[in-house]
Structure 1
Amino acid sequence: MSAAYPVPAADAPLVVFDFDHTLYDGDSGSHLFKWLIERAGWRWLLALLVAPVAGPMVAFLPTRRAGISVFVWVGSLGVHTHAALDALITTYVAKHAAAIQARLLPIALEVFRQHRAAGDRVLVATGAPPALARAILAFAGQDDVPVIGTLLAPNMGGMGVQRHCHYAMKMQMLRDAGYTQPVAVAYSDSSADLPLLHAAQQPVVVNPKAGRVAMFRRVLPPATRILNWGCPGRAGDAVHAR
């Protein structure tokens, strides 16, 4: 598919898309790790045991990475390499292909393609593992786009979160990957992406929770668009596909 788009110039506008609830209807990482945990009854029981501690940790920004890492570890016990984890991701995507494909948001993908066709430097920055986001984007022929995502590493017999591509760390990971130019446009649904939205010359909020709309209007520039790209149960001004 890359041949269908011009190669971005070095000074092309940098356009950053979040993934979950932006291009994909749902939390793709949670869906993956729920499946990993449900592969065996003992994993499910272990997840129930750690949930009273790890669950509340996920709810709060300062402890979110540690809480998520616990559930990642439960789902990946016995997985010691990135290659083994990627193989499980491939299996997960293959087993759930129809459901995953149905969660890709057509209007979002249309905007994504328009930016690529214009020669913009498009990338995805997500809290999901990069291999998962790329595998899902492959359904839309967009898996050749750079993906910056949460990095996992071997930890105590399984995998744990090494760098969570989330909040300020998302911006740090973008810069560390060489994307040091100003962000021209950023698309996200989440208040956890406020550092990215604040950094963008043109922030665009898509598919936000209804309870977050007033906050976005308060903290982002007055002309910021708040849109709904066909994500059920989410707020924003409706956009219709061409």
Structure 2
Amino acid sequence: MSAPGPYPVPAADAPVVVFDFDHTLYDGDSGSHLFAWLIKRSWLRLAAALLATPLLGPLVALLPTRRRGISGYVWIATFGLRRRRDLDELIDRYVVANRERVHQRLLPLALEVLTAHRAAGDRVVVATGAPPELARAALSFVAHQDVPVIGTVVGPSCGAVIARRHCHHDEKMRMLRERGYGQVAVAYSDSTADLPLLEAAARPVVVNPKADKVALFRQRLPAGTPILNWGCRDRGGDPV
């Protein structure tokens, strides 16, 4: 899989390489897996989620309302928590309890590419719509826990811990720039929601896209942009 390092310390002017997490480094939607686990902790949470799905499901399906829909499920999953740290502790418990499953979902080919960039001295950063602690905990299994992670900012609200700032679409680019990752040399992502990131990158690489989105990527991104499949069986892209 990936070598454990050590890796050279990137120079300040080293190329910036951005990886999405879900369906890019991880086979699936890590946030959905986490919050499903949290909801299933009690039958009351599960019942509330089922009752709310006719409302929240369509919101999640549409890009303009996705944040609201996801926040609804997160509220159900985290009701009773008071601090972001409480959620981080539950994330760590989830990753430990599901260690084998989480580890198996990390894509070996993706980790090889990430390792190669780190070994080359690039400034590698993971930018994800999931809580950053989740990506960090998962990457700790393969000795990449020190990779900077930018993710959705959560905080207490209305008796739960919910998304305050969703690392998604244009907001993901704003959050990257705020952290000093303005000029992106290479970007890897599966999602059309990351088109602002892919379009900003000098070299975009689409990995594991939904098959029905491949044409859109070819239309929006420069000719010759690689569209690859790194091991997600239910996704499109050219096999590697």
Cα offsets for 1:78-120 (capped at 9, x unmatched): 1111111111101100110001100000000000000000000
- Gap runs ≥5 in structure 2: none
Measured in 2, the distance between the counterparts of 1:119 and 1:2 equals 15
Measured in 2, the distance between the counterparts of 1:43 and 1:3 equals 42
Q: Which moved more, 1:42-51 or 1:108-117?
A: 42-51
- Gap runs ≥5 in structure 1: none
Which residue of structure 2 aligns with residue 199 of structure 1?
200
Report the CA distance between 1:225 and its aligned residue: 0.4
Which residue of structure 2 aligns with residue 116 of structure 1?
118
Q: Is the 8 A contact 1:66 1:161 kept in 2?
A: no
Measured in 2, the distance between the counterparts of 1:18 and 1:205 equals 10
Report the CA distance between 1:2 and its aligned residue: 8.0
Which residue of structure 2 aligns with residue 229 of structure 1?
230
Q: Is the 8 A contact 1:2 1:144 kept in 2?
A: no
Measured in 2, the distance between the counterparts of 1:186 and 1:14 equals 9
Report the CA distance between 1:131 and its aligned residue: 0.3
Report the CA distance between 1:74 and its aligned residue: 0.2
Matched, 1:171 2:211: no
Measured in 2, the distance between the counterparts of 1:172 and 1:41 equals 39
Report the CA distance between 1:235 and its aligned residue: 1.2
The 4+ residue runs of structure 1 with deviation greater than 3 A are: none
The one-letter code matched in structure 2 to 1:236 is G
Which residue of structure 1 aligns with residue 89 of structure 2?
87
Cα offsets for 1:117-168 (capped at 9, x unmatched): 0000000000000000000000111010000001111011101110110110
The one-letter code matched in structure 1 to 2:175 is M
Cα offsets for 1:173-228 (capped at 9, x unmatched): 11122223x10000000101000000000000001111111111111000100111
> Per the alignment, in what secondary structure is the counterpart of residue 12 of structure 1?
coil
Measured in 1, the distance between the counterparts of 2:75 and 2:69 equals 10
TM-score normalized by structure 1?
0.96
TM-score normalized by structure 2?
0.97
Identity in percent: 62
Measured in 2, the distance between the counterparts of 1:3 and 1:40 equals 41
> Per the alignment, in what secondary structure is the counterpart of residue 13 of structure 2?
coil
Number of paired residues? 238
Q: Is the 8 A contact 2:153 2:164 kept in 1?
A: yes
Q: Is the 8 A contact 2:4 2:142 kept in 1?
A: no
The one-letter code matched in structure 1 to 2:116 is Q
Change (3 A) 1:135 1:78: same
Matched, 1:107 2:109: yes
> Per the alignment, in what secondary structure is the counterpart of residue 52 of structure 1?
helix
The one-letter code matched in structure 2 to 1:64 is R
Query: Which residue, out of 23, 37, 57, partners 1:21?
Result: 23
Measured in 2, the distance between the counterparts of 1:210 and 1:51 equals 26
Which residue of structure 2 aligns with residue 183 of structure 1?
184
Q: Is the 8 A contact 2:198 2:205 kept in 1?
A: yes
Measured in 1, the distance between the counterparts of 2:5 and 2:214 equals 38
> Per the alignment, in what secondary structure is the counterpart of residue 187 of structure 1?
strand
Measured in 2, the distance between the counterparts of 1:47 and 1:9 equals 47
- Map 1:130-149 to 2 at 5 A: 130-149=132-151
Measured in 1, the distance between the counterparts of 2:229 and 2:4 equals 27
Which residue of structure 2 aligns with residue 42 of structure 1?
44
The one-letter code matched in structure 2 to 1:201 is A
Which residue of structure 2 aligns with residue 129 of structure 1?
131
Measured in 1, the distance between the counterparts of 2:43 and 2:14 equals 50
Report the CA distance between 1:234 and its aligned residue: 1.2
Measured in 1, the distance between the counterparts of 2:208 and 2:41 equals 31
> Per the alignment, in what secondary structure is the counterpart of residue 100 of structure 2?
helix
